[in-house]
Amino acid sequence: MGIYLNPGNEGFKEAVRSKIYVDKTGLIGCVNELIGTLDKYICVSRPRRFGKSMALQMLAAYYGRGCDSEELFAGFQIADDPSFREHLNQYDVIYLNMQQFLIEAEPGKVTEYLEQEVCQELRDEYGGILGEQNRRLAAALRRIYAATGRCFVVLIDEWDCVMRERQEAEGLQKQYLDFLRNLLKDQVCVALAYMTGILPVKKYGLHSALNMFFEYSMTNQFVLEEYTGFTEDEVKGLCGRFDMNYNETGSWYDGYCFRKFRHIYNPRSVVSAMTFQSFSNYWTSTETYEALKIYMDMDFDGLRADIVQMLGGGRVGVNTRSFQNDMRTFETKDDVLTLLIHLGYLGYDSEKREAFIPNKEIIEEFENAMSVGGWAEVMRVLKASDQLLADTLRGDADAVAEGLDQAHMEVASILSYNDENSGFLTDESAVRNLAALIGLAYYSARRDYRVIRELPTGRGFADVVFLPLPSVGKPAIVVELKYNKSAEGAIRQIKDRQYTKALEGYAGEILLVGVNYEKDGGEKRHQCVIERAAYGNLSESGK
């Protein structure tokens, strides 16, 4: 057993011995379908602390020669897969943690140091074949394969750290990518190349230097969706085991969305919440908010408005294809938003091509980033949100209308309902911006409510719904928005279309709130009507 060559199965043993281990060995079955084929090149990019290193340790334990891991995998999903024994401990695994090489190597000599270290272990194992002659790593693998017929599985962790931590060193980046291409591309001695990182493969010019890789990223994980984080069923099981509220867990850590698995949870944060028996900001606490603030403050037209839309619970369209897969080449606001998707600060719906802030944990990080300057007007709206919620729960419609007028004045330069010069905004766009303002103005409600934009009701969509968490004892709030119409008409629509019946599982008081924005209403442009509805008649367990 070596450091880089066949590192063994101890890393995976530590994972399965832990207090909380969620079985993700089904990933091995997916990879087995690709090993030894033209699709053997896999690049998996996810945010930090989303289980990437653990997955590599699992693959090393499964594929690595000399590990004897059959008993270790007994009882897990992969043990029932038809391919389980075919590939079990049949390959020489080369495990590379690029963060380690980047730290230990002399400046500019990352690949040289890597080859020196790995080739030394290869000579220790295959000295009779390689001799003492210094060889490049790719050449050494080819010679071993020619002499023994043994194939290699190459696992690379933090593959993109050179791009992330040496952003200005383009020469080093290109050298590194050329090294990987020479090591892996068209090499029959490599049965599988599996890389993990935060960013997809870096693009240069018209083509990627590593264009043989198939990429599974936060914009589309394809068949690996359920291995990106924890699924609904997995989180429900953990909540039952640790007696934690499932709805509140979702409010804090759910929100990553893919085509088949529409609810993927942050695994690090869920494990921490279950372990410490407390909901808090765990994932983002491992990195300072300044990293997010740098990108939020970039001066691209429309970026601030999009961020405000998402802070208000809305979604924004994003073109993810122009992103160059690095942290310094930005041409449009879409490039910035795409980076935030890959970093985990935004969720992404690949079917609708829309980005959004996924959960309470992340929205707190946006608030932290805004609190240190540049977003003063938005922060004033957020700080006033406690009073607006209190006025709403008290049924004071005049105070709510006045509060919305004030909130709109604060952010009118960023988020306008109308363009009085060009008349560009349609009524639909105006209502969309009004909904974003509602989300901002009721920001503090997220402590006690799950905020849902455009809740399907069977007879349309309720514009904004505030569904209380089971433990808070506050009424639900259904908000209907109008533009240049009437607040009374908004209330009628809630009743006529029976929007309250969409609150499945809720049993409690419901407030109906109609809000209208009058384009020519002078200084007081918002009107509000609040009514109390009958109690819901469905039960809510919360577990």
pLDDT, tens digit (0-9, with 9 covering 90-100), for 371-423: 887 899 999 999 999 999 999 999 999 999 999 999 999 998 887 765 544 34
414 token code pair: 């960023």
- pLDDT tens for each residue of 220-246: 999 999 999 999 999 999 999 999 999
The correct answer on CATH 1.10.10 for the domain covering 10-216 is no
Task: Assign 59 a pLDDT band (cuts: 50, 70, 90).
Answer: very high
- pLDDT score, position 190: 98
- pLDDT score, position 482: 92
- pLDDT tens for each residue of 123-134: 999 999 998 777
> Is residue 284 pLDDT above 80, yes or no?
no
Task: Assign 205 a pLDDT band (cuts: 50, 70, 90).
Answer: low
- pLDDT tens for each residue of 487-525: 999 999 999 998 988 887 788 899 999 999 988 776 778
3-state SS, 234-279, equals: HHHHHHHHHCCCHHHHHHHHCCECCCCCCCEECHHHHHHHHHHCCC
Angle at 226 between CA 318 and CA 504, to 5 degrees: 80
31 token code pair: 């990879």
For residue 181, the number of C-alpha atoms closer than 13 Å in the C-beta half-sphere is: 14
Contact between 483 and 431 (Cβ < 8 Å): yes
> Is residue 312 pLDDT above 60, yes or no?
yes
- pLDDT tens for each residue of 62-78: 999 999 999 999 999 99
> Is residue 202 pLDDT above 70, yes or no?
yes
352 token code pair: 């609708």
Q: From residue 29, how far is each of 88, 156, 211, 262, 269 by CA, in Å?
A: 11, 19, 24, 22, 26
**Which residues are within 8 A (CB) of 311 and not within 5 positions of it... i.e. 6 or more apart?**
357, 363, 366, 378, 436, 439, 440, 443
> Is residue 541 pLDDT above 60, yes or no?
no
* Percentage of residues of the chain with pLDDT beyond 90: 73
- pLDDT tens for each residue of 249-273: 999 999 999 999 999 999 999 999 9
The correct answer on CATH 3.40.720 for the domain covering 379-533 is no
d(CA 5, CA 125): 9
pTM over cut 0.75: yes
- pLDDT tens for each residue of 175-194: 999 999 999 999 999 999 99
Domain boundaries, the chain: 10-216, 231-374, 379-533
Q: What value does the mean pLDDT of the chain take?
A: 90
103 token code pair: 């730290």
Where are the extended beta strands (E) located within 139-293?
A: 152-157, 190-197, 203-204, 207-208, 214-216, 230-231, 264-265
> Is residue 468 pLDDT above 80, yes or no?
yes
State the DSSP code for 328. Answer: S
- pLDDT tens for each residue of 418-457: 554 434 456 677 788 888 999 999 999 998 998 888 888 8
Angle at 123 between CA 120 and CA 126, to 5 degrees: 150
> Is residue 36 pLDDT above 80, yes or no?
yes
- pLDDT tens for each residue of 134-144: 779 999 999 99
- pLDDT score, position 22: 98
Classify residue 276 as left (phi > 0), alpha (psi -120 to 50) or beta.
Answer: alpha
Greater confidence (473 vs 57) lies with 57
**Which residues are within 8 A (CB) of 421 and not within 5 positions of it... i.e. 6 or more apart?**
none
- pLDDT score, position 535: 62
- pLDDT score, position 325: 84
